[in-house]
């Protein structure tokens, strides 16, 4: 740290992303990327012809991308916001709406980082002993609420009716539903947008659309909330989505059938793995996401992580007190998951 850093950032603890290993080839099950490549049309959209236009700025309004997304979700483009990954949108949302914020004690680590970054007072509400979000803990209407649904890293989903109750109980605060994993089996709140002016639904191309590297996030809300987010975006970086990614995003929405099929495969593989791991004595949550959250009485979370790593398989281990016996395992291809299951069996023996 230099002597020049402002006082308010000295205590800030940045988010720690999962490793992106170089060199040794790992089976990479640690950052919830899709194991499947983007569709052919998506790849075509970022071919060298598109690169020839990189001398020009991208469209800051992102209107073409907004329109295809709006069509796909049966909304107006005025209800759609897009930016550089959903992390960007979460950042803007905390900046714009977080006088005070509440979120679960075990959830996406970035919510706390954004609160610290922007000096937002926040409260972490404990999950129950089965790692579920207790909806009655979110009925106070005293703060912006951020809920990942399905939650990460537990994979557990809230019912849409529970979300609707939370929305109704908090008319004076934004309720942000982070649906990064919604395409793997949860119930989306998108169709509540017209009914609740305090609802902000955030999604991403990173997980279910095989575009983590393109950095495209999108969000749905009432027009006025969208305008507030635009104000923040235009006050930071109006060109936050680059030209190549805009093209890729449009093509990806148009390749919906392909990505739905990929999600279907991932769901099938997930259910297969849940069954196998439970038979091996693991406790496995009922994940509705593209990852598993597992622990075993036979081996500590950290030990399993280390031993898998030595066998060339990377998973994600968190040190948090309540979850340190668990590992989060991204669903890969069936071949990758068979290699993972074989490695787990060897380790347990
Ligand atoms: C991966 C993830 C994100 C970030 O997605 P990007 O669009 O790649 O920035 C947001 N929220 C949750 C819960 C995630 O797991």
pLDDT digits (tens, 9 = 90+) for 266-296: 999 999 999 999 999 999 999 999 999 999 9
Ligand 1 close to Cβ of residue 180 (< 6 A)? yes
Residue 51 CA to residue 64 CA, distance in Å, equals: 18
65-72 own/partner pairs: CB under 8 Å, 24+ apart: 65/216, 65/218, 65/241, 65/246, 65/249, 65/250, 65/253, 68/249, 68/250, 68/253, 68/254, 69/218, 69/249, 69/253, 72/253, 72/256
Are 76 and 70 spatial neighbours (Cβ–Cβ below 8 Å)?
yes
Burial 69-85 (b: 16+ CB within 10 A, else e): bbeebebebebbbbbbb
pLDDT digits (tens, 9 = 90+) for 140-182: 999 999 999 999 999 999 999 999 999 999 999 999 999 999 9
Angle between the 256-279 and 243-254 helix axes, to the nearest 10 degrees? 80
Q: What percentage of the chain has pLDDT greater than the value 70?
A: 100
Q: What is the pLDDT of residues 14-65, one digit of tens each?
A: 998 887 777 778 999 999 999 999 999 999 999 888 889 999 999 999 999 9
Tens of pLDDT along 168-178? 999 999 999 99
108 forms bridges with which residues in the sheet? none
Q: Is the CB of 203 under 6 A from ligand 1?
A: no
Beta strands in the chain (DSSP E): 27-28, 80-83, 100-104, 121-125, 144-148, 175-178, 199-204, 217-221, 283-284, 291-295, 313-314, 327-330
Backbone phi, then psi, for 299, in 5-degree steps? -155, 140
Percent of the chain with pLDDT strictly greater than 90: 96
Q: Which residue's alpha carbon is at the smallest distance from atom 5 of ligand 1?
A: 86
In three-state secondary structure terms, 153 is coil
Confirm if 66 and 219 have CB atoms less than 8 A apart. Answer: no
Q: Tell how far the Cα of 274 is from the centroid of ligand 1, in angstroms.
A: 23
> What is the pLDDT averaged over residues 255-271?
98
Give mean pLDDT, residues 298-309: 97
For ligand 1, the distance from its centroid to the CA atom of residue 208, given in whole angstroms, is 11
Q: How far is the CA of 281 from the centre of ligand 1 (A)?
A: 30
CA proximity to 174, closest of 95, 248, 118, 240: 95
The residue among 320, 314, 332, 329 whose CA lies nearest residue 131 is 320
> From the CB of 186, is ligand 1 less than 6 Å away?
no
Backbone angles phi, psi at 37, to 5 degrees: -75, 165
pLDDT, position 258: 98
User: What does the mean pLDDT of the chain come to?
Assistant: 96
Q: Are 104 and 132 in contact (CB under 8 A)?
A: no
CB 178 less than 6 A from any atom of ligand 1: yes
To test the pocket of ligand 1, the residue of 20, 81, 152 to mutate (highest count of ligand atoms within 8 Å of its CB) is 152
Ligand 1 center from residue 204 Cα (angstroms): 7
Q: Averaged over 309-323, what is the pLDDT?
A: 95
- Phi, psi for residue 4 in degrees, rounded to 5: -90, -15
Ligand 1 neighbourhood includes 89 CB (under 6 angstroms): no
**Dihedral sign, Cα of residue 101, residue 105, residue 107, residue 108:** positive
Q: What is the pLDDT of residue 214?
A: 97
Centre of ligand 1 to C-alpha 119, Å, is 22
| pLDDT category of residue 211 using cuts at 50, 70 and 90 | very high
């Amino acid at each position: 740290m230099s002597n020049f850093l402002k006082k308010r950032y000295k205590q800030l603890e940045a988010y720690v992303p999962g490793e992106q290993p170089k060199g040794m080839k790992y089976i990479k099950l640690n950052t919830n990327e899709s194991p499947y490549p983007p569709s052919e049309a998506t790849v075509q959209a970022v071919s060298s012809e598109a690169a020839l236009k990189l001398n020009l700025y991208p469209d800051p309004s992102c209107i073409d991308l907004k329109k295809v997304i709006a069509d796909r979700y049966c909304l107006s483009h005025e209800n759609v916001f897009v930016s550089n990954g959903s992390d960007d949108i979460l950042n803007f949302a905390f900046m714009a709406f977080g006088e005070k914020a509440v979120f679960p004690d075990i959830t996406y680590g970035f919510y706390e980082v954004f609160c610290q970054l922007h000096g937002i007072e926040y409260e972490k509400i404990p999950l129950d002993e089965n790692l579920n979000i207790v909806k009655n803990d979110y009925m106070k209407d005293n703060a912006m609420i951020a809920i990942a649904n399905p939650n990460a890293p537990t994979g557990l989903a809230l019912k849409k009716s529970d979300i609707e109750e939370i929305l109704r109980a908090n008319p004076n605060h934004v309720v942000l539903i982070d649906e990064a994993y919604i395409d793997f089996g949860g119930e989306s709140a998108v169709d509540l947008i017209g009914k609740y002016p305090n609802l902000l639904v955030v999604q991403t191309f990173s997980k279910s659309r095989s575009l983590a590297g393109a950095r495209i996030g999108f969000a749905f809300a009432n027009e006025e909330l969208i305008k507030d987010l635009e104000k923040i975006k235009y006050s930071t970086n109006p060109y936050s989505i680059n030209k190549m990614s805009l093209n890729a995003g449009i093509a990806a929405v148009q390749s919906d059938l392909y990505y739905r099929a990929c999600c279907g495969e991932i769901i099938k593989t997930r259910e297969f793995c849940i069954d196998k791991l439970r038979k091996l004595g693991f406790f496995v949550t009922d994940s509705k996401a593209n990852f598993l959250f597992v622990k075993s009485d036979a081996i500590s979370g950290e030990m399993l992580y280390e031993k898998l790593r030595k066998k060339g398989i990377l998973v994600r281990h968190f040190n948090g007190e309540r979850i340190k016996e668990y590992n989060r395992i991204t669903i890969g291809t069936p071949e990758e998951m068979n290699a993972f299951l074989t490695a787990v069996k060897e380790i347990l023996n």
